[in-house]
């Protein structure tokens, strides 16, 4: 029986979950890997004993039985394993996009080992370079786990849409932000209070910045845009907003128009242009994403010929994400190669365009006081910049503030900004705060 030997670098949630799955399902994985026995030769982590106990893994699988290892000691173990000709593949689950991680990826590939990673940050920053280097040295990189954890999105896009053209990607791709927004909707409490709850329950890290500021979702969207439209992640600059400025009153207004608020990763193709953003959207109750709550992820792909497809599952979690890591290991063990980010490049040279020029409908919410002439001032300003009002839902009174919602027809955010400028000029005291949210 031929062994397919792997090393796991990093034993946090993803590395630990991946190891558990390999040990638990060894017989089944061997069948799926074409008879090759997937064997963990070493797990390299700064906390061997703690990781062994936490994930119920034999200490013999670890590089050491010590409680703690220094970075220098871990690096020495890594160098030793990369020199071992019997190692076929290395799994990197440390995370981050530092030069250390980038150089580690190149060292793994240059040593003649294939690589599997769940690291969306490094692929968004250096993906093109990493895949180009892998081709140069004749190795392959598996990255299914980098986008939406357990949802098998990468292989579906690469293989199942080769006969179609994807016009739009729209998804909830960060479970932490979705958990927070879902609870704000249900409990009518502020963002700050909901974040504290998410941290207490383990849905948010002590430092949740990448989740709540939209950057985690942006990294995943960059990978999908490069995969689908061939625009290198390093060339992508698009609007990224998190959820820190979402008001509890936004949900009250949204409810009055049979909608809710979700933080959405969005990319749409218009001829040779692609418009993209990560930001809160107003989602109507007839949209499949409306009812996706909690830490669940969901991605909707709209294709030119086959229509809408939605993929729902767990975007994080130890064994959930680990299952995607192991899927790549098995595939490489059997086939020797996985398609990379440039294998499906379209002959069309797509360009990423400024989302400020994209036309869509918006919900404008103005925080103000209940003064005479407010609606007239707002309506006139919108009309002066060519924006039509579709609906003025019921206003919301919260504390001493009045929240005026206005649904407008398709326009650009440039027009919206001009309208806000006119309102401020004509009535400087009218707007205490405002926002306009895409309706999608």
CA distances from 297 to 76, 182, 290 (A): 38, 12, 12
Residues in the chain: 440
Q: In the prediction, which pLDDT does 371 show? A: 67
pLDDT tens track for 310-332: 999 998 889 999 999 999 999 99
Determine the Cα–Cα distance for residues 440 and 291; give it in Å rounded to an integer: 14
pLDDT tens track for 140-173: 999 999 999 999 999 999 989 989 999 999 999 9
Q: At the topology level of CATH, where does 359-438 sit?
A: Alpha-Beta Plaits (3.30.70)
Homologous superfamily (CATH) for 3-151+319-335: NAD(P)-binding Rossmann-like Domain (3.40.50.720)
* Residue 243: strand, helix, or coil: coil
Determine the Cα–Cα distance for residues 318 and 336; give it in Å rounded to an integer: 26
The residues facing 276 across adjacent strands are 267
Q: Is the pLDDT of residue 392 over 80?
A: yes
The answer to whether 9 touches 95, Cβ cutoff 8 Å, is no
The residues facing 298 across adjacent strands are 172, 312
Neighbour count for residue 297 (Cβ, 10 Å): 27
Neighbour count for residue 237 (Cβ, 10 Å): 10
Q: Is the pLDDT of residue 345 over 60?
A: no
* Tokens coding 402: 């009045």
Average pLDDT over residues 86-90: 98
Residue 54 is among the residues annotated as catalytic for this protein: no
Would you kindly state where each structural domain of the chain is located, as residue ranges?
Answer: 3-151+319-335, 153-314+348-353, 359-438
Nearest to 181 by CA among 290, 256, 258: 290
In b/e form, how buried is each residue of 34-59, taking b as 16+ CB within 10 angstroms? eebebbbebbbbbbbbebbeebebee
Domains 3-151+319-335 and 359-438 share a fold: no
Strand 389-391 to 401-411 pairing: antiparallel
CA distances from 340 to 75, 92, 159 (A): 27, 17, 12
- pLDDT band at 1, cuts 50/70/90? low
In b/e form, how buried is each residue of 264-292, taking b as 16+ CB within 10 angstroms? bbbbbbeeeebbbbbbbbbbeeebebeeb
Average pLDDT over residues 381-390: 97
Nearest to 368 by CA among 394, 402, 397: 402
Nearest to 22 by CA among 46, 74, 65, 58: 58
pLDDT tens track for 170-204: 999 999 999 999 999 998 888 999 999 888 887 88
Catalytic residue among 36, 220, 222, 435: 220
Q: Does domain 153-314+348-353 have CATH number 3.40.50.10380?
A: no
The answer to whether 115 touches 82, Cβ cutoff 8 Å, is no
The rounded radius of gyration (Å) of the Cα atoms in the chain is 24
Nearest to 178 by CA among 242, 248, 222: 242
Higher pLDDT, 189 or 300: 300
Determine the Cα–Cα distance for residues 85 and 406; give it in Å rounded to an integer: 65
């Amino acid at each position: 029986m031929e062994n397919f030997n792997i090393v796991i670098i990093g034993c946090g949630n993803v590395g630990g979950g991946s190891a558990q799955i390999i040990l638990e399902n060894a017989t089944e994985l061997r069948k799926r890997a074409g008879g090759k026995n997937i064997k963990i030769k070493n797990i390299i982590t700064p906390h061997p004993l703690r990781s062994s106990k936490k994930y119920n893994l034999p200490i013999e699988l670890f590089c050491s039985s010590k409680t703690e290892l220094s970075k220098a000691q871990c690096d020495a173990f890594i160098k030793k394993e990369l020199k071992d000709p019997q190692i076929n593949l290395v799994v990197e689950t440390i995370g981050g996009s530092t030069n250390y991680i980038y150089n580690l990826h190149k060292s793994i590939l240059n040593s003649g080992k294939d690589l599997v990673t769940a690291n969306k940050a490094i692929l968004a920053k250096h993906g093109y370079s990493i895949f180009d280097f892998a081709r140069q040295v004749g190795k392959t990189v598996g990255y299914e786990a980098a986008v939406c954890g357990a949802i098998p999105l990468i292989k579906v896009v690469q293989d199942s849409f080769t006969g179609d053209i994807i016009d739009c990607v729209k998804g909830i791709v960060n479970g932490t932000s979705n958990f927070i927004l879902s609870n704000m909707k249900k409990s009518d409490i502020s963002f700050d209070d909901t974040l504290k709850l998410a941290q207490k329950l383990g849905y948010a890290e002590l430092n949740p910045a990448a989740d709540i500021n939209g950057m985690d979702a942006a990294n995943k969207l960059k990978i999908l845009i490069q995969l689908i439209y061939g625009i290198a992640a390093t060339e992508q600059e698009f609007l990224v907003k998190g959820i820190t400025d979402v008001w509890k009153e936004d949900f009250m207004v949204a409810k009055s128009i049979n909608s809710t608020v979700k933080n959405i990763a969005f990319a749409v193709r218009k001829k040779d242009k692609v418009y993209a953003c990560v930001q809160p959207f107003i989602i109507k109750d007839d949209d499949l994403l409306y009812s996706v709550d909690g830490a669940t992820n969901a991605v909707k792909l709209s294709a030119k010929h086959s229509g809408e497809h939605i993929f729902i599952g767990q975007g994080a979690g130890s064994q959930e994400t680990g299952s995607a890591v192991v899927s790549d290991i098995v595939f490489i063990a059997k086939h020797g190669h996985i398609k990379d980010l440039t294998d499906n490049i379209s002959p069309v040279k797509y360009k990423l365009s400024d989302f400020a020029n994209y036309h869509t409908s918006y919900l404008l919410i103005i925080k103000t006081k209940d003064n005479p002439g407010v609606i007239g001032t707002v309506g006139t300003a919108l009309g002066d910049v060519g924006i039509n009002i579709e609906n003025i839902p019921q206003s919301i009174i919260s504390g001493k503030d009045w929240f005026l919602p206005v649904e407008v027809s398709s326009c650009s955010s440039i027009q919206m900004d001009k309208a806000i400028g006119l309102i401020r000029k004509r009535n400087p005291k009218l707007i205490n705060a405002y926002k306009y949210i895409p309706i999608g």
